[in-house]
Amino acid sequence: MGLERVVEEVLAAGEEQQRKIISEAETEKRKIISAARADAESARKKREQEFAQKSAMMRQQATSSAELEAKKKALQEQNELLSQTKAEVLKALASIDNAQRKKILERLSQAASKKLQKGIMHCRKEDEGLVSPPSGFKKVADLSGAGGLLVESEDGAYRIDLTFEALLEDVWTKNVRKIYEIVFGGA
């Protein structure tokens, strides 16, 4: 009986050791699973956060891009309207009645004669009868356009562009901000 008892004790000790190892393995398994779940949850939250950041950034970029495109279109439309306004002003200048046109051409002629003593005064064929060049100037009706004068020295080295187109461009450039405010109601 002594041997049987020893065998039983050995078997009991083995079973106890087996239960202990299995219990420790189960505990370790739970720890590993718990750590893996925590890591997976952390990775999921990190991906969600990265996605939210990327999504917000893309939304901001899309919004900024749309706003920029809208501003660009508005500016294009404003520039087109300003160009149309300028064209209408030039058209109005071209259709000034002869009495007013004669007065304007006389003033332009006087202004040019203060800068040049003699030369050639170019005008439109339609305005030839309205232009009276000062002495020392020869009149040539060879201009096209809305009207005005182009005055040059006899040798052609010096020119004074007093055409309606040039005068309008000069006034337009100097006053574009005021024109913008008038047309669009503010800066």
- Residue 154 DSSP code: T
Sorted by sequence, the CB contacts under 8 Å of residue 144 that are 6+ apart come out as 124
pTM of the model: 0.63
Q: Is the pLDDT of residue 181 over 90?
A: no
Which structure tokens are listed for 135? 């002495």
Q: What is the CATH number of domain 88-184?
A: 3.30.2320.30
Pairing mode, if any, of strands 159-163 and 119-124? Answer: unpaired
Rounded to an integer, the average pLDDT of 56-61 is 92
pLDDT of 152: 95
pLDDT of 35: 87
